[in-house]
Chains A and B, each alone.
Chain A
Amino acid sequence: MKGLAQSIPKKILGWVTAGQDAVYDRKTIYDYMDGGAEVYLAFDFRNVFVRKYKGPSRGEIALDIYDMGSPEEAFGIFSCDRQDPEAGIGQESEYGSGLLRFRQGRFFVSITASGDEQRAEKAILELGKAVAPLLGPPGSLPDLLKCLPETGLKKDRISYFHAVINLNNRFFVASENILGLGRETDCVFAEYAASPAETGDLLLIRYQNEDRTRVAYESFLKIYLPEAGPGGAALTEKRKWTMARIHGNYLAVVFEAPSKEYTEVLHSAIKFPQK
């Protein structure tokens, strides 16, 4: 991070560095974040470099560069909180209302403004463009994404994570960890267009072994879908269908699909790896 810090501009469009740069690791991240630390600690987060900039009038820009340990983990933290239009910075990015987020290689970057977001917008985007080339070559996506069916997939609505805190902030399922998620599980949540007017969601979880998969499957059916028949499907609220099935050490749950047939279509299109 030290070499990287020296390369990052200290002045950009009239905004200049303020105070000392800081680096927080897995133990000290709590000193920097109020409540957000666990979201990062649920990934292979290593450390974050922080630099603040003061503007020509009031307001502040915070540059955070997170070393997530691998490109897959950087994709994960980026993907769990994506809502805004692409900004064309790094491998993938988004910008909206004073918040720029992008990923490049094993790094995830957040640049935020507090105060006058509109006034800070140009500086935020310029800073992002200056930082992205310093972060090394692009990295690969998590292999679990290869399992996703392609038809109807909303490619900017895919999230990759491990732990229940990330699932529940993305798509609330239950107040307890009924799917047995943790650092050792890999999960992908994806939104689908079942038709122009209808949607469905797919949660695919890879467990360490088949025993854990079976335990999670039974827990989910018992707590979330007790009325499910032998096929693991049930008609739920607002006439939507939910269905859970296991395949080796994978558990697939289709949430809130428009028809039972669509749950079957989506599940049968999952590209589970050949043993």
Chain B
Amino acid sequence: MKSLMTRRDFIRGTSLAVLGTAIGFAQNPQSQVNKSRVILIRHPEALDENSEFNGPVIQQMLDEAVMKLLDQGDPAAAFRLLVKPDDIVGIKSNVWSYLPTPPEVENAIKRRLLDAGVKEENIGIDDHNVRTNPIFVKSTALINTRPLRTHYLAGMSGCIKNYIMFGESQPDYHPDNCADLGSLFNLPQVKGKTRLNILCALTPQFHGRGPHHFSRRYVWNYKGLIVGQDPVAVDTIGLRLIMAKRRQEFGPGQELPPVPKHIQLADTKYGIGASDLNRIDLIKLGWSEGVMI
């Protein structure tokens, strides 16, 4: 299904709810039972006064998010629902030099995997070498984590796009604004293995400049994590955050050029998750000032 969107559709959307419908992220309302749960957690001290990441606070945020996601009272118990002690776990990170996955997030994930009984030698963290890294080649479980940002071609880089390194050729996924990124989740090395998606909205990037689509002036300290088991639902919430920030900064019609069509197609064409806000149960935890969504 192609859902053609024009500038006029964006301008008509005078609220984010209308915009969500306008870009095809609202389809058929379903019961609460079938919804993908997504946790948005924020903490005012996730970054310190020097904008350095605060490891203990980030650990606490991840723990609270995963406990709420899985209705558990203890982080290790929650992670034991995600992985078994004999799992081989690849943490798919992101090393983009301008805005990488913070080591504090990687370390927080690894610590809880260890607490859940996974052996240290069976845990790997990688980005560019996931096709050849032995841990990822043998992996029985994957944890997907990366920062939230805009992208010249795909519109938005989130958890779906983070798996592009599992593809044999990255440019093969670029046509039509990266429309087919959802297919990555059906690759043999990946299919059925993703246990958790953590979209880092600690310092999201809402606009890009220059050859590398980065200028620090378009990064803000949102101090949040978006966590869920459904990568499409997690990205859908990330997209709404980016759209809200762009609307605030740039005005109507500038919410997100180009439209990140891969998120919707990951749902409607590849069936790997929910892009329909009516099928997403968003739970917000923690700091609410400037939450925007």
A→B interface (CB under 8 Å): 30, 33-40, 62, 64, 66, 81, 83, 96-99, 101, 110, 112, 114, 117, 165, 168-169, 171-176, 178, 223-224, 236-238, 255
> How close is B231's CB to chain A, nearest CB, in angstroms?
18
Report A-chain residues with C-beta under 8 Å of the C-beta of B96: 34
> How close is A54's CB to chain B, nearest CB, in angstroms?
13
In the complex, A75 Cα to B195 Cα: how many Å? 47
Report whether over half of chain B's contact residues are helix, strand or loop; otherwise say mixed.
loop
Please tell me if the beta carbons of A173 and B174 are within 8 angstroms of each other in the complex. no
Please tell me if the beta carbons of A169 and B217 are within 8 angstroms of each other in the complex. no
> How close is B234's CB to chain A, nearest CB, in angstroms?
20
Q: Which of B37-45, B54-62, B70-78, B250-258 contacts A (4 or more CB under 8 A)?
A: B250-258
Please tell me if the beta carbons of B98 and A237 are within 8 angstroms of each other in the complex. no
Question: Which one, B7, B97, B170, B210, contacts A110 given CB within 8 A?
Answer: B210
Please tell me if the beta carbons of B209 and A99 are within 8 angstroms of each other in the complex. yes
In the complex, A223 Cα to B6 Cα: how many Å? 8
Report A-chain residues with C-beta under 8 Å of the C-beta of B154: 35
> How close is A127's CB to chain B, nearest CB, in angstroms?
15
Please tell me if the beta carbons of B7 and A172 are within 8 angstroms of each other in the complex. yes
Report B-chain residues with C-beta under 8 Å of the C-beta of A40: 211
> How close is B58's CB to chain A, nearest CB, in angstroms?
21
In the complex, A53 Cα to B87 Cα: how many Å? 43
> How close is A179's CB to chain B, nearest CB, in angstroms?
11
Report B-chain residues with C-beta under 8 Å of the C-beta of A98: 215-216
Report A-chain residues with C-beta under 8 Å of the C-beta of B177: 165, 175
For residue B178, which residue of chain A has the nearest CB? Answer: A35
Question: Which one, B4, B171, B258, contacts A223 given CB within 8 A?
Answer: B4
Interface string of B104-142 (1 = CB under 8 A from A): 000000000000000000000000000000000000000
Please tell me if the beta carbons of B209 and A83 are within 8 angstroms of each other in the complex. yes
In the complex, A25 Cα to B257 Cα: how many Å? 27
In the complex, A265 Cα to B116 Cα: how many Å? 70
Report A-chain residues with C-beta under 8 Å of the C-beta of B4: 174-176, 178, 223
Question: Which one, A30, A96, A178, A224, contacts B170 given CB within 8 A?
Answer: A30
Question: Which one, B10, B12, B171, B212, contacts A172 given CB within 8 A?
Answer: B10
A172-B253, A176-B4, A223-B6 are known contacts. Are A99 and B215 too (CB-CB below 8 A)?
yes
Please tell me if the beta carbons of B210 and A81 are within 8 angstroms of each other in the complex. yes
